Chains A and B, each alone.
Chain A
Amino acid sequence: MRKLNSILPILISIPLLVGCWDRIEINDLAFVIASGVDMKGIDKYNVSVQVALPSAMGGSGSSGGGGGTSGGPFYVDAEPGRNIRESNDNLQLRLSRNLYFAHRRVLIIGEKQAREGINEAINVVLTQPQSRLSTFLLISKGEAINILKTKTKLDLLPGEALREMSKSNIGMTVKDAMQDMNRYGKEAVIPVVEKGKGGFKMASYAIMHHDKVAFFTNKKESSGVLWLRNKMNEKSITFSDAKKQEITLRIIESRVKQKFSMVNGKPLFTFKVIATGTLMENEGNLDLARPYIYSRVVKRFQEEVKSEIMSLIKHSHSEGIDVGGLGWYLYKSKNNLWDERFKKNWEENLHNLDIKVVVDGEILRMTNTGWNY
């Protein structure tokens, strides 16, 4: 008992006296939900953050509504700096709450900066412990800060809307982008966000060449990206029949397999696409139960897929970009061959490669059986 009596005061005073309570209350933090990086002169960044304003979200206790800069419960601010951290620190000087990046789910790189290189901008996500590697990466048409300032109709916070849209898109995270950029014979593909009516639009992709944007895809090439990235599930494809009557298929499952073979001493790369779909729209009222009609439609479907993929590959390969990751496939499966024959000048020789796209399409179900039976 005496022993305990002598130890107890010491034990109690340790937690009280050491003063290392690194407790931070929620209302001492400024939660960054999205941030953007823009170029501002040479080697100078303009980093913008979108901070949620909980007080404007109308929780109980606070009177709700009101507040905010222009209506929405968020606040966008930016400050220049020589690197990302310095910009953040500069911004912090003007804020009463600590910037907290653990809930930043979207990182947007401005177009100008993206064409110069995004390495430095996304490296911060890796090195700063608060940041998540699962942050979605986007490239904006125009300045990133303009995207952050855009209000959306459906979501209170634009950052939330961006996150949801990125997720249902190809879901490119900072981690994925970094991996793709650092792999042999593989390039990153990053969704492009632009201002649209009532919010944002994510319809195209930035095809990267190392850490720089090479080009933005058009509509056809965008579909090619989805096919190549196996992200076509639950999405639709519309193509016209011979009589200009459209057919819409909802893809149930799609898979892309790469294959390599030597034909007459020349390398041949094959993309084999296996796709199954449900017939959603059948304008021509085609009776797919008839084999000859079915095979005609499926053939159109296969041609459509093939042309989408080919348009993307043609365009990228002509610019020396291995968008399909053929080099990475070789590196993994035929490493010796890659080292001996292809590693050197891979990008320069890309446009000479023989590429074949084989589509194995199938329509498994239909919602419209056609009335002319």
Chain B
Amino acid sequence: MKSFKKHRQLKKPEVNNTKTGEFIKYELEENIKTMKVLFKDCSDINFRFITAGDTKACLVFVDGLIDAASIETSGIRQLLEETERRQLTADYLKEKVIAINSVSETEQIDDALNKILGGFTVLFVDRIDKAIAFDAKGTIARSVAEPETETSVRGPREGFTERLRVNTSLIRQKIRSNRLKIVSKIIGEQTQTNIAILYIEGLAQPDLIDEVMARLDAIKIDAILESGYIEELIEDNSWSVFPQIQNTERPDTVAANLLEGRISIVVDGTPFVLILPVTFWQFLQASEDYYNRYHISIFLRILRVLFVFVALELPALYVAVTTYHQEMIPTNLLFSIASSREAIPFPAFVEALIMEISFEALREAGVRLPKIVGQAVSILGALVIGQAAVEAGIVSAPMVIVVSITGIASFTIPRFNMAISIRLLRFPLMILAGMFGLFGLVLGSLFLLTHLCKLRSFGVPYFSPLGPLSFKELKDVFIRAPWWSLEMRPKQTVKGNRRRMIDHLKPPTTQRYGEEGE
């Protein structure tokens, strides 16, 4: 078990260190030669030689990552028009020639290399021992669209894209405050993935920020292709089935969490942004809960909590009760179950297992297939499992009902990663129920409960505010109290500075519009 502990004090092996450590030289020829060696067999690297006056220069960029028009208008043309025969300096070029917002200079070959790979255009000029990098990025990116995994009836329709800067800008648009900090990091020796850590100064706990930074810094890996890599590398308990970091495609969700003192991690190349720390109950809440009027939100939240139990325990309960505790079933229900089970060749447990597994297979098949084929699969599955199996006497009708209710219940959980955890856990519970009846079911549930209470996400108890119990926090857990009563930020993540609105925001009910007060 030892080798899986996170902050081990072993000597870390270096991952593919390719640094040269060289400086940029005076002669353009030599610099270009070095670059050409470094970019050997990289056909997408473009070297564009130009002569400004009588000074030779070379633009190096990755074809496809830059905006050709932008380079031409703001870089190349000015250089070509620079006819005066005099020594060009880096400062002069930076300030007078290149008409682009983001310009920087560097003396390191490695630095220049990274800039080029990062989509910058790097200008090497003869007799200048510096390279000028300017940002003329023009990558093809998906436009901001509605997030597919988290659709909502009411709420913003924009979702994150694959580009880090687009994503951070979406959040910045929501929180226009200088206290929203966006700290950048690069992780991944090969991928050089840009990562941004977002938090609001004064709300997020400094300890928490330090801890997150430390855990991120400890990562030495060749590639970060998705935020899932980071999630698994920094979570508290790797063995737990329960997700300890939330991911979302919605900028409004991220903004809301930042405003409650949480930290989010944006990873370049994926629309899924991480939010931490989280509690179990957050996975049962949709961002829409806060936009709809509170009555419907209260109803929906209670419904979800109820259906989490259904998704987790219903098949197990059915197996336990029908094979061990027949006295618990109301007589008439028992007879209808008995009459439909009369011809079934399998024990209830096996029947449940068959049905649950085929349901999972059906769902998985539907997810991976193209949308058009996916529909065919679901129709086929519904027909085969739902009707044909019952009519053939392989599966009983009550079991089909149980499985479909369980399936629907698991889809009511708004976060996919929690839904899949719950779905996984119902198999062990079913096995326990099949072996020990209700005793086994209770035992399994107790084990889960203790595990949930023990689990922590970045220092925040996973089951809080229910365990440890905090009554005042409960108004944003099973219910969503009206906005005017949610005066305080959650206690688990924000320590001082907890008030988020003035007192008595509740609209007065007695006074009609236009009428004089007392």
Contacts and interface: CB of A to CB of B under 8 A. Distances in A.
Contacts of B332: 160
B338 A54 contact: yes
Interface string A216-243: 0000000000000000000000000000
A206 to B, nearest CB: 26
Interface of B: 1-2, 322-324, 326-327, 331-332, 334-344, 347-349, 390-391, 393, 396-397, 434-437
Contacts of A62: 339-340, 342-343, 393
Given A59-B340, A59-B397, A61-B396, A102 B326 contact: yes
A157 B336 CA distance: 13
Interface in A31-60: 31, 33, 52, 54-55, 57-60
Contact of B348 (A26, A52, A100, A130): A26
Contacts of B339: 54-55, 57-59, 62
A25 interface: yes
Given A29-B326, A57-B336, A102-B327, A1 B343 contact: no
A1 B1 CA distance: 5
B398 to A, nearest CB: 9
Given A4-B1, A61-B397, A31 B335 contact: yes
Contacts of A25: 322-323, 341, 347-348
A27 B437 CA distance: 17
A59 B336 contact: yes
Contacts of A292: none
A11 to B, nearest CB: 13
A105 interface: yes
A100 B342 contact: no
Contacts of B323: 23-26
B333 to A, nearest CB: 11
Interface in A135-165: 157, 160
A162 B59 CA distance: 97
Contacts of A31: 326, 331, 334-335, 338
A201 interface: no
B331 A23 contact: no
Contacts of B434: 23
Given A23-B323, A23-B347, A24-B326, 18 more contacts: A1-B1, A21-B435, A25-B322, A25-B348, A26-B326, A27-B341, A27-B344, A29-B326, A31-B331, A31-B334, A31-B338, A33-B331, A54-B341, A54-B342, A60-B391, A60-B396, A157-B335, A160-B331
A1 B340 CA distance: 47
A23 B324 contact: yes
Interface in A1-35: 1, 4, 15, 21-27, 29, 31, 33
Contacts of B334: 26, 31, 103
Contacts of A29: 326, 338
Contacts of B396: 60-61
Interface residues of A, number: 29
Nearest to B339: A59
A19 to B, nearest CB: 11
Interface in A78-101: 100
A159 to B, nearest CB: 9
Interface in A341-366: none
A158 to B, nearest CB: 13
Nearest to A55: B342
Nearest to A105: B331
A174 B479 CA distance: 45
A314 B334 CA distance: 46
Contacts of A61: 340-344, 390-391, 393, 396-397
22 contacts: A15-B435, A15-B436, A23-B437, A24-B323, A24-B324, A24-B326, A25-B323, A25-B341, A25-B348, A26-B322, A31-B335, A33-B331, A52-B335, A55-B343, A59-B340, A60-B390, A61-B391, A61-B396, A62-B339, A103-B327, A157-B335, A160-B332
Of all A-B residue pairs in the complex, the 10 with the closest CB atoms, nearest first, are A59-B339, A102-B327, A54-B338, A54-B339, A59-B340, A57-B339, A61-B343, A61-B393, A55-B342, A23-B323
Contacts of B436: 15
A22 B342 contact: no
A218 B326 CA distance: 41
A29 B326 CA distance: 9
A54 B332 CA distance: 10
A370 to B, nearest CB: 45
A29 B325 CA distance: 12
Interface string A89-130: 000000000001011010000000000000000000000001
A55 B434 CA distance: 24
A57 to B, nearest CB: 4
Nearest to A130: B327
Contacts of A33: 331
B335 A57 contact: yes
B341 A26 contact: yes
Nearest to A132: B327
A253 to B, nearest CB: 30
Contacts of B1: 1, 4
A157 B396 CA distance: 23
A130 B324 CA distance: 13
Contacts of B393: 61-62
Given A15-B435, A23-B323, A26-B348, A60 B331 contact: no
A25 B391 CA distance: 21
Contacts of A27: 338, 341-342, 344
Q: Of residues A15, A54, A55, A100, which shows the largest number of chain B Cβ atoms within 10 Å of its Cβ?
A: A54
Interface in A322-348: none
A157 B436 CA distance: 33
A103 B2 CA distance: 55
A21 B336 CA distance: 25
A130 B434 CA distance: 21
Contacts of B342: 27, 54-55, 59, 61-62
Nearest to A101: B327
Contacts of B340: 59-62
A62 B341 CA distance: 8
Contacts of B337: 26
Nearest to A156: B335
B101 to A, nearest CB: 54
A354 B499 CA distance: 77
A93 B340 CA distance: 26
Contacts of A52: 335, 338
